[in-house]
Chain A
Amino acid sequence: MTLTRAFLAIIRRDLVLAFRRRAEMINPLLFFILVITLFPLGIGAQPNLLQAIAPGVIWVAALLAAMLSLDGMFRSDFDDGSLEQMLLSPHPASLLVLAKVIAHWLVTGLPLLLVAPLLAVFLGLPSHALGVLLLTLLLGTPVLSLIGAIGVALTVGLRRGGMILSLLVLPLYVPVLIFAGNAVQMAASGLPVDAQISILTSMLLLALVLAPWPTAAALKMSIH
């Protein structure tokens, strides 16, 4: 089997598995919506206030939803041993890992984009900022999946890795949150956001190149 076919086969397999268990796919989305709903209830429904905090709140909620969904990335493959087979294959482990991360993002990260417009309406985000919000989500959530994969790979062998996973991953999410949140805020006040978008793009490219590498090393360590 060539590398390209192995790569595509892993993505297809993971997508099929995900669609057979649709309930798990919906969970991060519901979490995303629920957290956003809690904010007006907690701080009061003044439109000005909500509009001011909307970019930050949407991004923090997206970040938490992405983090919660991480745990499933390697869990079932680790439990049934297919992860071991994958790492034993002649293809570079980092690329196969990248395929798994892409598949994971397609089922957990991409749907966040679909509900984001609804949530932007909930919080009264100006409609001209919506495009930038979607663009930052499109560029930012893959970075979250890629960085998160390192954390999951380090903790997949642990029985209770959930808490420690958030401790490992959240500090590394800070730059994405800063630039994405800021871009949406700037767009809401009608300012140009080229710089933030360029930096987010470079973060995505950097993560695409660098992150699969430690992830593969950490998976090999977790399996030992």
Chain B
Amino acid sequence: MFLIPDSFVRFFHRMASPPHFYALTERLMPWLTAIFILLVGSGLYGGLYLAPPDYQQGDSYRIIYIHVPSAWMSLFIYTVMAAAGAVGLVWRIKLAEVVAISSAPVGAGFTFIALVTGSLWGKPMWGTWWVWDARLTSELILLFLYLGVIGLYGAIDDKRVASKAVAILALVGVVNIPIIHYSVEWWNTLHQGPTVSKMDKPSIHVSMLVPLLLMALAFKVYYLIAMLQRARVEVLQRERSAQWVRNKFFGTAS
């Protein structure tokens, strides 16, 4: 532990206390929302208005400003969920468990959005709503993994036990995701060959890249907002009989 600065350790210990977490996130929320609106506003303005249309795909390429950040988020959130789950398993930090399970529905949402927008883009480009493309397929399996996590959490009544189960499952999933991803890729190349005309990437132009990065940041902040809101509700539910919750909502009379 001597490698980690003291202030950092103190920050973690304080974040692990539910009342402190609740109060801090309450103060953070307006700031996060403001940053999100700023980022998403400038990202969409840059992507939908300033960036020139693609010389091949016309305006349909603009869906990448939603699609690509969502696809990035879908994997990112799964990793966060597994990491938080591992922290919860090893150090028994309740808030890490809460963060892990609060991430799952947000991640599933992003995965779903990535699938839907991919399919919407596929209709004009490939001429069909669904192609068993390697990336689409592994995204679909990722969605099933998310649904498994959510389903397992819902099925176990004792929420402390359920968070442990979810953490184990998320860790197993994290080991498996690369295996699944590469086997799907291999399967796809063997079955279809390179018939699917993948968008060649002629090093994307700056006017298109900047809005994309802005949107990616905006989505990260959105994830933070959505996850924290879920985590706050989850914390209240778990701590409903604790003194600080009573003090907060029913005054100090006891």
Which residues of A (163-187) have their CB < 8 Å from a CB of B?
Answer: 164, 167-168, 170-172, 174-175, 178-179, 182
Contacts of A164 in B (CB 8 A): 148, 151-152, 155
For the complex, what is the distance from the CA of A214 to the CA of B156, rounded to whole Å?
18
**Contact indicator A174/B180 (Cβ below 8 Å):** yes
**Contact indicator B148/A155 (Cβ below 8 Å):** no
Pick out which of these stretches binds chain A: B67-75, B114-122, B170-178: B170-178
Minimum Cβ distance to chain A for residue B48 (Å): 35
Cβ of A210 within 8 Å of any chain B Cβ, yes or no, is yes
**Contact indicator B184/A174 (Cβ below 8 Å):** yes
Q: Which of B151, B158, B172 contacts A214 (CB 8 A)?
A: B172
Chain A interface helix/strand/loop/mixed: helix
**Contact indicator A175/B183 (Cβ below 8 Å):** yes
Contacts of A222 in B (CB 8 A): 161, 165
For the complex, what is the distance from the CA of A178 to the CA of B191, rounded to whole Å?
11
Size category of the A interface is 20 to 34
Nearest B residue to A159 via CB reads B155
Contacts of B159 in A (CB 8 A): none
Cβ of A224 within 8 Å of any chain B Cβ, yes or no, is yes
**Contact indicator B152/A155 (Cβ below 8 Å):** yes
**Contact indicator B186/A210 (Cβ below 8 Å):** no
For the complex, what is the distance from the CA of A139 to the CA of B165, rounded to whole Å?
28
Contacts of A72 in B (CB 8 A): none
Contacts of A172 in B (CB 8 A): 172-173, 176, 180
Minimum Cβ distance to chain A for residue B176 (Å): 5
**Contact indicator B144/A182 (Cβ below 8 Å):** no
Contacts of A203 in B (CB 8 A): 179
**Contact indicator B168/A154 (Cβ below 8 Å):** yes
For the complex, what is the distance from the CA of A118 to the CA of B110, rounded to whole Å?
45
Interface string of A188-224 (1 = CB under 8 A from B): 0000000000000001000000100010011001101
**Contact indicator A154/B144 (Cβ below 8 Å):** no
**Contact indicator A175/B180 (Cβ below 8 Å):** yes
Which residues of A (146-161) have their CB < 8 Å from a CB of B?
Answer: 150, 154-155, 157-158, 160-161
**Contact indicator B183/A174 (Cβ below 8 Å):** yes
CB contact under 8 A between A171 and B152, given known A178-B186, A214-B172, A217-B168: no
Which residues of B (103-144) have their CB < 8 Å from a CB of A?
Answer: 141, 144
**Contact indicator A158/B155 (Cβ below 8 Å):** yes
Interface string of A107-130 (1 = CB under 8 A from B): 000000000000000000000000
> Please, could you name 7 A-B residue pairs with CB atoms under 8 Å apart, sorted by A?
A157-B156, A164-B155, A171-B145, A172-B173, A174-B141, A214-B171, A224-B161
11 more A-B residue pairs beyond the given contacts A174-B183, A222-B165, with a C-beta to C-beta distance below 8 A? A150-B168, A150-B172, A154-B165, A168-B169, A171-B145, A172-B173, A174-B141, A174-B180, A175-B179, A210-B175, A218-B165
Question: Would you list the 10 A-B pairs with minimal beta carbon distance, nearest first?
Answer: A175-B183, A171-B144, A178-B187, A168-B148, A167-B148, A221-B164, A178-B183, A171-B141, A154-B165, A164-B155
